[in-house]
Amino acid sequence: MNAGDADSRRTMPNKAFNKELDAYKEARAQGIQPAGTSMKKIQEAVKASEILGKPYDSSKMAPAKHINKKSAAVLNQLGA
């Protein structure tokens, strides 16, 4: 018998899932729109927001991992 998707070894533990969900909710409450719900994407979006000085929006801005002080200055000049 194959457990398939019910195989608990293949799913994220509830504690980690809830931590990511809470981080995503907190980011969204701050106006940040991460490119995904993984902790890596959320952290990238939060860092990009700090560098930009405004909430990051993945649908309108360059990928968060490419946001640095130089690119933030250009984006801010362009009004993005």
Domain ranges of the chain: 12-78
3-state secondary structure of 38: coil
Surface-to-core class of residue 48, CB atoms within 10 Å of its CB (0-12 exposed, 13-18 middle, 19+ buried): buried
Helix%, strand%, coil% for the chain, nearest 5: 60, 0, 35
pLDDT tens figures, 2-51: 555 555 555 678 888 899 999 999 999 999 999 999 999 999 999 999 99
| pLDDT tens column, 47-77 | 999 999 999 999 988 899 988 888 888 877 8
Q: In percent, how much of the chain has pLDDT > 90?
A: 55
Structure pTM? 0.76
Return the pLDDT at 80.
Answer: 65
